[in-house]
Amino acid sequence: MREIIFDTETTGFDPLTGDRMVEIGCIEMVGRVMTGATFHCYFNPERAMPPAAEAVHGLSDKFLSDKPLFASQADALLEFLGDSPLVAHNASFDFGFLNMELERCGRPAIDMGRMVDTIAIARTRHPGAKLSLDALCTRYGIDRSHRTKHGALLDAELLAQLYIELTGGRQIGLGFGDSLAVSVEIETTRISLVRTDRPFRTPRPHQPLPEELERHRAFVGTIKDALWTEEERRALAPSD
């Protein structure tokens, strides 16, 4: 199954009050394996970047001033997304900004039914635990030492690793997605456990021979104070 892991960076928290998306990073996965295909773009938000937001992702007004408008990249982005499920951390936030940008340029909104929220998955698996991307990466031993600031594509890469862990780890199963053509050839060797170098001998009946029974009785007679003889004596004793 094809899935898209994505993350966004914005000028703030609420697209309904004028905040804009300034970066999106998308990673393609097929059968929970990253294919190497990505979509990444910065956008000119056509407004000033608040200092608090710039402190998080480091995207300044100067850096974004020559970047394309979202509308000019919308078709390429939608083509990359296709009709695949879209995975994000706190996905309603990213979906809110993505759909607002699509609406601003006259494109239809993406169906929320395609949304997969890794925070919701993590909350089910680790109730009461910290659910930030950083905290979950620490929990699963995902290296983020190269991450000094938030970045959409970098965070999407971390999220892709986290998503694999949250949904079964590297041993998700032995099945492969329909889109992956994997050929595995296994050479088997038949091993016979029956020896053929022995002469055939007719199986012996399992009843003991008379001389074997006599030797057994003689051996039992040598055992002193045997418990079973006491049991026999009680069984044969006349009842009162």
| pLDDT value at residue 176 | 42
* Global pTM value: 0.69
Identify whether 146 is a catalytic site residue.
no
CA distance 35 to 10: 27
Cα distance between the two ends of the chain: 83
Between helix 152-166 and helix 118-125 the angle, nearest 10°, is: 40
Domain boundaries, the chain: 2-171
Which of 57, 89, 146, 150 is the catalytic position?
150
CA distance 112 to 163: 19
Higher pLDDT, 226 or 197: 226
Q: Which of 28-32, 182-186, 215-219, 235-239 has the highest mean pLDDT?
A: 28-32
CA distance 166 to 75: 31
User: For 163-214, how does the pLDDT look when each residue is reduced to its tens digit (9 = 90+)?
Assistant: 999 998 765 444 444 433 333 333 333 444 455 566 666 666 667 778 888 8
Give yes or no for a contact between 167 and 32, defined as CB atoms under 8 angstroms apart: yes
Span 5-9, average pLDDT: 97
Span 62-69, average pLDDT: 97
CATH architecture of 2-171: 2-Layer Sandwich (3.30)
Span 23-29, average pLDDT: 97
- Nearest Cα to 164, choosing from 112, 121, 120? 121
